[in-house]
Structure 1
């Protein structure tokens, strides 16, 4: 477990944070908006660029594949040039490639620019978590909840922004992201102080070596299968909703709101009461049920199951992130890099495989595979539960922190 730094203010509450934390969190919201931003405009992109759903799904695959691989170098970079410079380089790359994506004349160009966007996103997202954890008041748990709140808010707003701008022109959401990220760049430039560089430089092999820890490897590979199911819903469902940009945007806005609420409010309470591993199990079972609902129900059922799937996804986002940070003795940036490298591979594989299965078999098969993927995740958790014992100690510590003081006699 990681001890709270001695200079971290206590009792400040999750909302009482330095301006540098809020600046980083704002940029994180915009960064996560980029994930769901393209959801409402996927059919429009396919139509305007004369591409098939599986070709358009490569927007997600290239983005997350590069994001996953780039996670391996984030610690190496930030330990040499510092967290602030790494954040700014990541933001600058997102501004550049999001703007270029809006100028694309073909799906190949768009996929390539999304890959560059993924590189910038990796540098920013991995470093942002470490910066927020290091600068936030209230300890690591509050910082992680704040980070997950940014994720949930970004994921919920992304489809809405994509719908509003995409209804005017499918290129506008990309330009809008570039502008918002430029604002984030300016905020971090002015509000975030450049902290001291780490005393020890991170080796390139550190994230892979970190995965040699049984607990972190278990968490990461469970998250890989969970993320496969997660991104089957996010990247494939827009093609079968049969709705315009606004319709798709509002469906995924509702989904994103539930992701945010369950991340920030439900998950922490349930983790303290039942433990992190039990929350993972429960959320994965719920996600299996919603995946099966997506496979068998009609149009209205698909809308309901898509929106409600945000509940287990939000719970798992918080549970898995906290587990990755706490289960091993690796430095948090290193653990985060190794964990994210593995889990984002699920986000890279799911969109392309799901659309290909639908093109060659039927629209229900991707969701059956997503449900099976969640089942595999549950099996991994059960088979390797002894490696997650450190999480039980963390949960016990939290329970003692929240316990009422004995009555004075």
Structure 2
């Protein structure tokens, strides 16, 4: 299906969307909640299940590792079985494994079930945007705006829901996701029609071949490095903060709001004014400085709180720009580039939480310093590969285009 880029003027057209679009958008909100849902309950899980910070952080490690690997095959699966079946498979897997995590009694069980959850999330996220666009009727621009809104709401409210339900029991957030995803599953079954399959099935080797292109390899390695900082912030900071589930939920909700606003609104404007590479380098440099300040004042909770929330601005801008760059950094299909990029960058996302947890057992500041160093190294990699990315600003998608929505999705 060919979709032309759309302008903001197009988005004002008075065209509604069918119920199928709303059903998938609702499921998208719940799926993106999973990013920060467990933040508020990390410490309670560790206390009640007698697990160390490093062991608890494996909830992120298993989730991200499986998500990254699964991204290599989502295109293969959806191109053979269709978007609706892939979407439903992802939802069903999340329902089952989120529920199983809720009834677990050991940290090892939760870590294992979070891995299964990561598989479901990969299948869902890789298919959701294409499904919404394919189901749109006469108002694709509004459908994409709705998708971006769903992403932002999910990222911002995930920690909040985790804090509210976690205040009752650490099992609450897991059961909450399972119930909400069940509602979404039924809605998709009833409301979403079958969508046409691609004429050419995707090859499983395509993502690896795509990494031969220096531009794609550069942005992938850059993302791998700054993900050490990103997931140090996300998975480790709740431990030195040592606050209640409600407080952690509200703090990371603030982070999510700024990340979503920066992704959707600030990044495109800054890109048009200053260029992609300068803004990517600046946002990563500011994030590295933010982590360094958090490391320097790791004993001061107010500094950590401000550092977490402000980081949302830097990460939101960078996530959108660097993953938009993925879409045009190599002469391959966008889905192939996205799969290759996600596989590489999630390696950093998988390793960082466990490493941060182990370092934090010796010094609460060390994880932040490592995150800052890795993020600074990401800037160096980006600078070294700048020639392969010199063409980025020759192709700027229109606001609320499919390209931009894809970029935001992969980034977050």
> Same fold per TM (> 0.5)?
yes
After TM superposition, the structure 1 stretch with the greater mean CA deviation from structure 2, 327-336 or 134-143, is 134-143
Query: For residue 210 of structure 2, what is the aligned residue in structure 1?
Result: 210
Tell me: CA distance 1:133–1:205, structure 2 relative to 1, closer, same or farther (3 Å): farther
Counterpart pick for 1:5 among 3, 6, 9? 3
Query: For residue 281 of structure 2, what is the aligned residue in structure 1?
Result: 281
Secondary structure of the equivalent of 1:168?
coil
Instruction: Provide the rounded CA distance (Å) in 2 between the counterparts of 1:206 and 1:190.
Output: 34
Query: For residue 316 of structure 1, what is the aligned residue in structure 2?
Result: 318
Equivalences for residues 7-406 of structure 1 within 5 A: 11-13=9-11, 18-19=17-18, 20-132=20-132, 143=144, 149-297=149-297, 298-360=300-362, 362-395=363-396
Tell me: CA distance 1:351–1:323, structure 2 relative to 1, closer, same or farther (3 Å): same
Instruction: Provide the rounded CA distance (Å) in 2 between the counterparts of 1:7 and 1:289.
Output: 36
Tell me: CA distance 1:335–1:142, structure 2 relative to 1, closer, same or farther (3 Å): farther
Structure 1 runs not aligned, ≥5 long = 402-409
Query: For residue 409 of structure 2, what is the aligned residue in structure 1?
Result: none
Instruction: Provide the rounded CA distance (Å) in 1 between the counterparts of 2:24 and 2:390.
Output: 32
Q: Is the 8 A contact 2:84 2:195 kept in 1?
A: yes
After superposition, the CA RMSD in angstroms is 2.6
Instruction: Provide the rounded CA distance (Å) in 1 between the counterparts of 2:207 and 2:192.
Output: 26
Instruction: Provide the rounded CA distance (Å) in 2 between the counterparts of 1:365 and 1:37.
Output: 25
Tell me: CA distance 1:383–1:130, structure 2 relative to 1, closer, same or farther (3 Å): farther
Q: Is the 8 A contact 2:40 2:245 kept in 1?
A: yes
Structure 2 runs not aligned, ≥5 long = 402-412
Tell me: CA distance 1:135–1:325, structure 2 relative to 1, closer, same or farther (3 Å): farther
Instruction: Provide the rounded CA distance (Å) in 2 between the counterparts of 1:228 and 1:18.
Output: 39
Shift of 1:151: 3.4
After TM superposition, the structure 1 stretch with the greater mean CA deviation from structure 2, 252-261 or 312-321, is 312-321
After TM superposition, the structure 1 stretch with the greater mean CA deviation from structure 2, 96-105 or 369-378, is 369-378
Secondary structure of the equivalent of 2:104?
coil
Shift of 1:189: 2.3
Q: Is the 8 A contact 2:62 2:350 kept in 1?
A: yes
Shift of 1:153: 2.3
Q: How many residues align?
A: 395
Q: Is the 8 A contact 1:288 1:371 kept in 2?
A: yes
Tell me: CA distance 1:132–1:208, structure 2 relative to 1, closer, same or farther (3 Å): farther
After superposition, give the CA deviation of every residue in 1:33-61 in whole Å (9 maximum; x if it has no partner): 11211110111100111111110110000
Tell me: CA distance 1:17–1:271, structure 2 relative to 1, closer, same or farther (3 Å): farther
After superposition, give the CA deviation of every residue in 1:303-340 in whole Å (9 maximum; x if it has no partner): 11111111011111211221122323322222211111
Shift of 1:139: 7.8
Instruction: Provide the rounded CA distance (Å) in 2 between the counterparts of 1:9 and 1:188.
Output: 28
Instruction: Provide the rounded CA distance (Å) in 2 between the counterparts of 1:132 and 1:357.
Output: 42
Q: Is the 8 A contact 1:263 1:314 kept in 2?
A: yes
Instruction: Provide the rounded CA distance (Å) in 2 between the counterparts of 1:55 and 1:218.
Output: 32
Query: For residue 406 of structure 1, what is the aligned residue in structure 2?
Result: none
After TM superposition, the structure 1 stretch with the greater mean CA deviation from structure 2, 96-105 or 192-201, is 192-201
- Taking structure 1 as the reference length, what is the TM-score of the superposition? 0.90
